Structure 1
Amino acid sequence: MAEFTDYAENKILNLLRNIAWAQFPAYVALFTTAPNDAGEGTEVSGAGYARQLAGLSEAVGSGGATSNASDITFPTAEEDWGTVTHIALYDAESGGNMIMHSALDAEKAVGDGDTFKINAGDLDVTVA
């Protein structure tokens, strides 16, 4: 993942001020436009779409990185979702706050009956 949102940057800075940031499971969202640091963008909203649990593995070592431990498979599209160009991590399955966002290595058109999948180990999250 490439960029933290303003929300996440402020939460990280507040940790240095001894202001807690509650733990949360990370959910992956799909976007058809580039999200910005304010957490705005066009999230997929077609029939069948739902954010999916990221299932990140424990960050170990000195690399400041983690990735998804297993495949992340979105529900089968029940209509055209458009061309997915970006992904984001949220702190909730719906609503919530965007934490990070990034462009996909390759855009993917998701049509009626298609399934969007991120293979295990392909969602790389690095804090450096």
Structure 2
Amino acid sequence: MTDTGENRVVNWLFGSSTTAPTLPLKMALVTAAGNDATAGTEVTGGSYARKNISVAAAVNGGVANSADLVFAGMPACTVVGWEIWDSFGTPVRWCYGPFDASKTVAAGDEFKVAAGAWTFSAS
């Protein structure tokens, strides 16, 4: 999780805040990884846009995407990871991570994250 995401979850858990993410949550693709404090370099160009992500109820502290995420009309780039943002007026980045393998796409290609292929665990 990002520093912001960790702080908001802990604040919620211990009652000092009830600020939850503004839904829907969206997956962003990155060409350079970020870290807890700094966002990665998000894909830009082509028809790329963040995609709404839906998940089933958590099992053993983890979730997976419940539907395919299809990013059509990608620009030429190499995708190395993902970030999850909320839909607040100034979106908040909640978590991030790498894909199992980087993928190079040509201009106009699609990048697909099949249902169940993306997972997130709180542990």
Q: Tell me whether the two structures share a fold, i.e. TM-score over 0.5.
A: yes
Q: 4+ residue runs of structure 1 moved beyond 4 angstroms? A: none
Name the TM-score, length of structure 2 as normaliser: 0.89
Q: Deviations over 1:36-86 (max 9, x none)?
A: 1113220001121100011111224xx111111111111222x32x10001
Q: Deviations over 1:74-127 (max 9, x none)?
A: 1222x32x1000111111288511111111101011211200000110110111
Q: Structure 1 stretch 118-127 or stretch 87-96: which is displaced more? A: 87-96
Which residue number corresponds to residue 104 of structure 1?
Answer: 99
More strand by share: 2
SS at match of 2:97: strand
Letter in 1 for 2:58: A
**Please, what is the CA RMSD of the aligned residues?**
1.7
Whether 1:90 aligns to 2:81 is: no
Q: Deviations over 1:10-29 (max 9, x none)?
A: 10111133110234221100
In the TM superposition, 1:10-49 aligns within 5 A as 10-18=7-15, 19-23=17-21, 24-49=23-48
Aligned residue pairs total 121
Which whole-Å CA distance do the structure 2 matches of 1:73 and 1:33 have between them?
Answer: 20
| Gapped regions of structure 2 (runs ≥ 5) | none
Rate the CA distance shift 1:58–1:51 in 2: closer, same or farther, 3 A.
Answer: same
| Gapped regions of structure 1 (runs ≥ 5) | none
Whether 1:72 aligns to 2:34 is: no
Rate the CA distance shift 1:119–1:94 in 2: closer, same or farther, 3 A.
Answer: farther
Rate the CA distance shift 1:99–1:39 in 2: closer, same or farther, 3 A.
Answer: farther
